[in-house]
Structure 1
């Protein structure tokens, strides 16, 4: 576990970076920054860095101190690793904040900014409402931040009524969407239900289908290359990998007696093992189905456990669970494993910036879960019916998407910065959305 002194040193180091980068502005006439200027709002540390110093003391929640290392990327998977880390999705707020400090078009003048970033660690701050003694006050989550924005340089907020502000919440939007009218409160805080924040753009790990201000961005994987050589090396490894398994499911669940998609997957996979012993498998596969049991979170910070099997599989099954999407969706893409979706909300209706809706048929397979659970449709029949040449084309498309869904390491090489990653695409999309929103507001 990371010690408190080490955490405080890390926080002080972060402060130094924030001061240096936020006060350094490139040429205001730089053409690449036209309409792309961002101002990072200076927030009191109680809204971000102070929340990290208690990383081992949040009630009814795992100690997340080890995952603060490397500015939120976590500890390396092994000492010689240059790209692989034990990354926790909750740390995306830190990762995003650190990367924002390297954004080439920062301005210290909020009036000159096209967008304003709020470095609020809302997902971490939410822990006290979700699991702690303040669970009955979850409707208050965000009010303290709003009060600060009204009191400190109120003209920054009032200029556009918050429409030009954006932040990152490293949890599914469902965790922040409890109705203000629930009494007693149920799961979640009410951050996204507060009228005070209706105008800001919120980047979440998963978004709901209706609110305009939410936008889902990829779950962070464990792969964070620092150079173009390391990225290209991984792409070549993925391309050379022998796909000896037709389909793979990495996850938990499926043991309930009630009919559901995970239970159907487990049942079909177990039955396929029997047929492998008596029937020659078509298509050159030595195994029809393989399950990586990730029950009880054992895979969460151990990418080796699931990445190696994913590299050997042609298709990775991505059924919904407690929420529609899974981090495994992006782990599978990183392994060149073609995703198989069972409902549109898993990815198609959420991640349009990173996974274009019109291209889903080129890199994924869709099988309605109702057809599998209640209609008797066998997943294996669908996948085995796809010609090998089509499978190869789909895998090449998946590999094209790989740089777009990973978060490269901060301080990366100039060569790697020429490839837009998940962060770059998220920032571009945010600025475009804010611009469009401000144009609509001006016409009202």
Structure 2
């Protein structure tokens, strides 16, 4: 079966969406120019959606402009969303941004609709794996030589930003690696040191990166659907103390996931009488990726759990953290890098203790600390207060559906916050550069 003719359909949509953009009353310092890129950097990558190595056929997840197919026909807010589609979701939402300008000289920032995560697949798994140090150079040549290089040169890329729907580690292979290891070198290229890259997980040190939330499967299209879900989250009875939805932990080597699974197995035999819970630990086995596009499998258990355990996996962060927030389930972290040092635009670092629990994995794995004992030791009034803070964060971490109602647009979602903070960062950076330039120019004429 041939892949769908996505580029033609999507181009028609882009034109219509751009015409629907309605400038807001005050765009001072907020004007954004969307750089027009050749389809090889975005739309052509979608047309091959059934042919990507390892990833297999991801055409179903391209549906609904990146939200994926609905979980069931009657669903109005729930989709089978793949995190890799965040680049497409973000692009679609940027076309509704109220302060777009066709004149790059008037823009505070320039958005690059480059689907970097999709383009990286051929370097990560495909025939170009040994050329992964080349990832991004075609884009750089286009920006600086082929098409209006003055747009890039005006700020040397400091005013450009893009979304990269993978952890930054996937784009951080040192240029000196020979032979190459997993990853591309996009973020290691000096050519892109000045851009702002919005990634699903950032490294601790580079200036250019900022982590933004993984997309969940919940994409409401009006305020009523959002409020209805929040009401359901608030009234659901939390019959389980804690829940772990994930895979791993089956090896004999000590690690936090193994400790969690062993504890879950052990506490099932304990009496819950007088505790207010029907079970102390619930486990949803998500091995082999079976939960990735099936939110029903884990969302209902999360709604019934008081705490959701968030151990690190291949990288410190997990999409499950945001699924837990949407379910009103209090996250339990075991590494500082899991979220506290990551999503600072959407979750203030100094407020983590107000809506989450931190238990050092070394205490659990090395010293035998029982997670259940820590959680049972938190006063119930404190648990209720923490959950209310979690519920209050739902609207900040979801990506609402494109074309949503005016009422819902009055609430800032994950996209709105990401764009606002990216603009703040870019404006601050450009101001510093201009101030330094003026200062240097002044002294050179003294």
Asked whether 1:355 is paired with 2:351, we answer no
2:218 and 2:173 mapped to 1: Cα distance? Answer: 33
Question: Which residue, out of 61, 64, 67, partners 1:70?
Answer: 64
2:274 and 2:423 mapped to 1: Cα distance? Answer: 49
Matched with 2:131 is 137
Q: Report the 3-state secondary structure (helix = DSSP H, G, I; strand = E; otherwise coil) of the residue aligned with 1:305.
A: helix
Matched with 2:179 is 184
Deviation of 1:59 (Å)? 2.2
Structure 1 contact 353–429 (Cα < 8 Å) conserved: yes
Q: Report the 3-state secondary structure (helix = DSSP H, G, I; strand = E; otherwise coil) of the residue aligned with 1:415.
A: helix
Structure 2 contact 355–390 (Cα < 8 Å) conserved: yes
Please give the per-residue CA displacement for 1:41-60, whole angstroms capped at 9, x wherever unaligned.
Answer: 00011100011001111223
2:109 and 2:401 mapped to 1: Cα distance? Answer: 23
2:274 and 2:386 mapped to 1: Cα distance? Answer: 19
Asked whether 1:26 is paired with 2:23, we answer yes
Structure 1 contact 261–369 (Cα < 8 Å) conserved: yes
Question: Which residue, out of 324, 333, 339, partners 1:332?
Answer: 324
Structure 2 contact 363–369 (Cα < 8 Å) conserved: yes
Equivalent runs, 1:194-343 vs 2, <5 Å: 194-275=189-270, 279-343=271-335
Structure 1 contact 39–116 (Cα < 8 Å) conserved: yes
Please give the per-residue CA displacement for 1:265-322, whole angstroms capped at 9, x wherever unaligned.
Answer: 00000000122xxx34443001000110000000000000000000000000000000
Q: Are residues 374 and 60 of structure 1, via their aligned partners in 2, closer, same or farther at CA, if it must alter by over 3 Å?
A: same
Question: Which residue, out of 32, 40, 47, partners 1:38?
Answer: 32
Q: Report the 3-state secondary structure (helix = DSSP H, G, I; strand = E; otherwise coil) of the residue aligned with 2:101.
A: coil
Structure 1 contact 115–431 (Cα < 8 Å) conserved: yes
Deviation of 1:10 (Å)? 3.0
Matched with 1:13 is 12
Deviation of 1:375 (Å)? 1.3
- In the alignment, structure 2 segments of 5+ residues that lack a partner are 437-446
Matched with 1:370 is 362
- In the alignment, structure 1 segments of 5+ residues that lack a partner are none
Deviation of 1:18 (Å)? 5.7
Structure 1 contact 339–364 (Cα < 8 Å) conserved: yes
Q: Report the 3-state secondary structure (helix = DSSP H, G, I; strand = E; otherwise coil) of the residue aligned with 1:284.
A: coil
1:12 and 1:149 mapped to 2: Cα distance? Answer: 21
Please give the per-residue CA displacement for 1:312-350, whole angstroms capped at 9, x wherever unaligned.
Answer: 000000000001001000000000000000011000001
Structure 2 contact 5–47 (Cα < 8 Å) conserved: no
Question: Which residue, out of 88, 94, 97, partners 1:94?
Answer: 88
Matched with 2:384 is 392
Matched with 1:58 is 52
TM-score by length of 2: 0.95
Matched with 1:414 is 406
1:355 and 1:441 mapped to 2: Cα distance? Answer: 28
Equivalent runs, 1:159-178 vs 2, <5 Å: 159-178=154-173
Matched with 2:440 is none
Question: Which residue, out of 97, 104, 107, partners 1:110?
Answer: 104
Structure 1 contact 163–438 (Cα < 8 Å) conserved: yes
Q: Report the 3-state secondary structure (helix = DSSP H, G, I; strand = E; otherwise coil) of the residue aligned with 2:71.
A: coil
Q: Are residues 282 and 136 of structure 1, via their aligned partners in 2, closer, same or farther at CA, if it must alter by over 3 Å?
A: farther
Please give the per-residue CA displacement for 1:194-233, whole angstroms capped at 9, x wherever unaligned.
Answer: 0000000000000001111100000000000000000000
Deviation of 1:161 (Å)? 0.5
2:410 and 2:167 mapped to 1: Cα distance? Answer: 30
RMSD: 1.3
Structure 1 contact 115–434 (Cα < 8 Å) conserved: yes
Deviation of 1:426 (Å)? 0.1
1:234 and 1:240 mapped to 2: Cα distance? Answer: 10
Structure 2 contact 332–359 (Cα < 8 Å) conserved: yes
Equivalent runs, 1:430-441 vs 2, <5 Å: 430-441=422-433
Structure 1 contact 61–131 (Cα < 8 Å) conserved: no
1:267 and 1:26 mapped to 2: Cα distance? Answer: 56
2:77 and 2:308 mapped to 1: Cα distance? Answer: 23
Please give the per-residue CA displacement for 1:220-267, whole angstroms capped at 9, x wherever unaligned.
Answer: 000000000000000000001000000000000000111100000000
